[in-house]
Amino acid sequence: MADRLAERPDIRIVLTGGPGERKLVGSVTTRLARPALNAAGATTLGQLAALYARCALVLGSDSGPLHLAAAVDTPTVHLYGPVSPVKFGPWGDPTRHVVLRTTWPCAPCDRLDWPAAVLPQHACMTAITPDAVLRVADSLIR
């Protein structure tokens, strides 16, 4: 997604995450076609809110930081697989905070703890296509 969005000359990619994800996010940024900022573990909660407030769009799987982006009213794309957006939001203007859900019939199963060895059989998030995410992201970026 980052590479596809970065094809637009006006887009700069910033990847966020917790302190324990800095190395993982760093490995992702080195694989991108264009340079991206690795902000994983580099912000306080308030700084992350301020960063998101300056973004044109924040996208990702359902998470606390994604809800933080919605709270500062930055347009968001929320990807839902094993959990239900009915339970967990986002709340706010649905034209600014768009939900994309998996098409897997077993979702939402509310299970987030599948062992790594069986994740390929529970890949409901991969049913949300990059093209679908890009269409929504393009519609939200002004």
Residue 44 three-state SS: coil
Kindly tell me the number of DSSP H helices and DSSP E strands found in the chain: 6, 5
Per-residue CA distances from 118 to 5, 21, 115, 133 (Å): 31, 22, 6, 25
Q: What is the CA radius of gyration of the chain?
A: 15
Q: What is the pLDDT of residues 20-66, one digit of tens each?
A: 999 999 999 999 999 999 999 999 999 999 999 999 999 998 889 99
pLDDT for 118: 84
Q: Where does 32-71 show beta strands of DSSP type E?
A: 37-38, 58-61
Could you report the per-residue pLDDT of 65-80, keeping only the tens digit for each? Answer: 999 999 999 999 999 9
pLDDT in tens, 100-114: 998 888 888 888 888
pTM of the model: 0.88
DSSP 13: -
